[in-house]
Structure 1
Amino acid sequence: MLKGDPKLAMARDRNSETALHVLARKPSIFSNKNQGLFRRLINSC
């Protein structure tokens, strides 16, 4: 996604947060249970 639009890395939402800020508060997305889903999401991009 970033290769297609590098500005996404620094894009901020209405709370002035980047996607990394949001992901950092959701460590459960990286758990073993969700790893397959997360891996598929990454690979689809």
Structure 2
Amino acid sequence: MAASDADKIEIHDRHGFFAVSKRVAKMTLPRLREGHIKGRKHRIERVR
């Protein structure tokens, strides 16, 4: 996923959102769900 694939980004204290196309979401969701950020697990969900 390239930085240009993210359309809208919202960052809050405890969570964040970013919008991508359906094509990009299908490719990246499985990989993001398996990964860690800074050594910590995270929860990735699809929001409509």
What TM-score does the superposition give when structure 2 sets the normalisation length? Answer: 0.31
Q: Which is greater in Rg?
A: 1
The structure, 1 or 2, with the larger RCO (C-alpha pairs under 8 Å, 6+ apart) is 2
What TM-score does the superposition give when structure 1 sets the normalisation length? Answer: 0.32
Q: Structure 1 or 2: larger helix share?
A: 1
Q: Structure 1 or 2: larger strand share?
A: 2
